[in-house]
Structure 1
Amino acid sequence: MTIISLLLLASLLPHLTFTAHVNVGIVNGKEATPHSRPYMVSVQVKERHTCGGFLISDRFVMTAAHCLNNSPVVTVVLGAHDLRKKSENSVRYKVDSYHQHPDYTEASFFNDILLLKLDRIVRLNDNIKWISIPAEGSDIKAGSVCSVAGWGRLETNGKKSDHLMETDVKVMNNTECERKWGKNYFSTSQMMCVHGNGGSCDGDSGGPLVCGDTAVGVTSFGDPARCNSPKQPEVYIKISAYITWIKKITGNII
């Protein structure tokens, strides 16, 4: 998703004194046990992985709004582990309708959340299942151990992984995250961030931050110069802040 990333960053330059990288693969992680995360989705343009995502019902996928900035048409692949394999019973779905948050703009990362309504009901099986999302207004305590996963780059400017990778992370205090990013770029009510030995990198935008058995965040942005940076932690959209909007789009089925 290099072209999309560059275009988005170019659009941000007039607005930001420093930029953030988008599509934040997994650094210092390990290969996930195949199909141990059956909610994971590969969002693809012309059948090439561009972003992560996750299944939240039998009809809707959640991902990051900026994943559509230069790709008005995407398809999604469910039930995959190795994206090169066509024989692992993964299934490709077309998108029936796109629902970016109405307050999202390409000028910032605020409200960076997108719902994809699939063109047909998903047939669930051992490799394809949805994941729960949190209650409205709920928070995760700082220091909680959670996890991220994706098919993105394995290191800054490195190659993407064909296999799903994962790593554990710790939730950071929101006030500390705001101090590191600044109020112009970070919202304590709408965002959260994590730190750890491993973390997200280019190619993982839209993937879930998972705490327990619940997806609590959507991978959004991070340091433009270094994946898993200690200075500018990776930032996630806080799903619990958007439950009313999500239920409006999905028809209260979540």
Structure 2
Amino acid sequence: MTIISLLLLASLLPHLTFTAHVNVGIVNGKEAKPHSRPYMVSVQEKEQHICGGFLISDRFVMTAAHCRNSAQVLTVVLGAHNLRNKKENSVRIKVESYYSHPQYTSEFFHNDILLLRLEKNAQLNNNIKSISIPAKEGNIKADSVCSIAGWGLLKTNGSLSNHLMETNVKVMNNKECESKWGEEEFSASLMMCVYGEGGSCDGDSGGPLVCGNTAVGVTSFGDPEICNSPDLPEVYTKISAYLPWIKSIIGNGSSAIADEIKFF
């Protein structure tokens, strides 16, 4: 989950002034079984993948706020595995409304969370499904084994993956993460860190950190120099810290939309 975005994300970071790096690909991972993560979304600008995301209802996608730093018009692709395969029945939907957290700023990665209201409801099927988010605020136990997935760089300065990649990671103790990043960049109440042999890279930003069957984090930032750094762990926006805000947005259209979200 690195913050100096590579080619595809470079345009998203014109105001980046500190040492974090936004994310785009899975390092030391493996190709996911096709459509085994039906909640995964490719967030695109001009039909080019720039970030990950995930479906939390048939009308809303969650991603990272920094994914829209300079990309004003986004579309999402649902039900994809190979982004180059036009025959796999993936679905492109325009975004109707953008809801970035009101306290997010492009200079820092606090409150790095964005909700995309789709132009129309997604037609759910075996390849397109929503994923649960937490029902209440709380921390995931340190050393819990979770997983991440995305399309993007397979190594620092490497090539993008057309296929969805995945890897397991472990949740890091908040105090340890804070000692590595410092209090100014890491907020234990709003963020969480992971570590492991595999990790995120440029292009994975906005994708979910999944523990059990629940999305608990949004890929946000990491070491500016190297993907999956042993020194600066990858940082995720903690979804449970934003539940009141999320519910206020989801409920703005139809109360049925809020009911469709599966809370853990």
TM-score by length of 1: 0.96
Separation in 1, partners of 2:118, 2:67: 16
Which residue of 1 is the match for residue 181 of structure 2? 181
Which residue of 2 is the match for residue 196 of structure 1? 196
Which residue of 2 is the match for residue 61 of structure 1? 61
Give the match's secondary structure for 2:27: coil
**Which amino acid in structure 2 is aligned with residue 146 of structure 1?**
C
Separation in 2, partners of 1:12, 1:32: 32
Query: Does the C-alpha gap of structure 1 residues 7 and 161 become closer, same or farther in structure 2, counting only changes over 3 Å?
Result: closer
On the 8 A contact 2:38/2:129 being kept in 1, the answer is yes
What per-residue deviation string (whole Å, max 9, x for no partner) do you get for residues 41-76 of structure 1?
A: 000000010000000001000000000001000000
Task: Kindly state the Cα deviation for residue 188 of structure 1 after the two structures are TM-superposed.
Answer: 0.2
On the 8 A contact 2:8/2:49 being kept in 1, the answer is no
Aligned CA RMSD, in angstroms, stands at: 1.2
On the 8 A contact 1:136/1:242 being kept in 2, the answer is no
Separation in 1, partners of 2:7, 2:29: 25
Task: Kindly state the Cα deviation for residue 4 of structure 1 after the two structures are TM-superposed.
Answer: 6.8
**Paired residues, number:** 250
On the 8 A contact 1:217/1:236 being kept in 2, the answer is yes
Which residue of 1 is the match for residue 248 of structure 2? 248
Which residue of 1 is the match for residue 161 of structure 2? 161
Matched, 1:12 2:16: yes
- Structure 1 vs Structure 2: percent identity of aligned residues? 71
Matched, 1:213 2:213: yes
Runs of 4+ in 1 over 4 A off after TM superposition: 7-10
What per-residue deviation string (whole Å, max 9, x for no partner) do you get for residues 185-236 of structure 1?
A: 0000000010000000000000000000000000000001010001000000
Task: Kindly state the Cα deviation for residue 107 of structure 1 after the two structures are TM-superposed.
Answer: 1.2
Which residue of 1 is the match for residue 85 of structure 2? 85
What per-residue deviation string (whole Å, max 9, x for no partner) do you get for residues 165-185 of structure 1?
A: 000000000110011000110
On the 8 A contact 2:22/2:220 being kept in 1, the answer is yes
Task: Kindly state the Cα deviation for residue 8 of structure 1 after the two structures are TM-superposed.
Answer: 5.3
Matched, 1:127 2:127: yes
Matched, 1:107 2:107: yes
Separation in 1, partners of 2:7, 2:112: 19
Which residue of 2 is the match for residue 52 of structure 1? 52
Task: Kindly state the Cα deviation for residue 12 of structure 1 after the two structures are TM-superposed.
Answer: 2.9
Task: Kindly state the Cα deviation for residue 152 of structure 1 after the two structures are TM-superposed.
Answer: 1.1
Separation in 2, partners of 1:30, 1:4: 22
| Matching of residues 4-43 of structure 1 within 5 Å | 5-6=9-10, 9-13=13-17, 16=18, 19-43=19-43
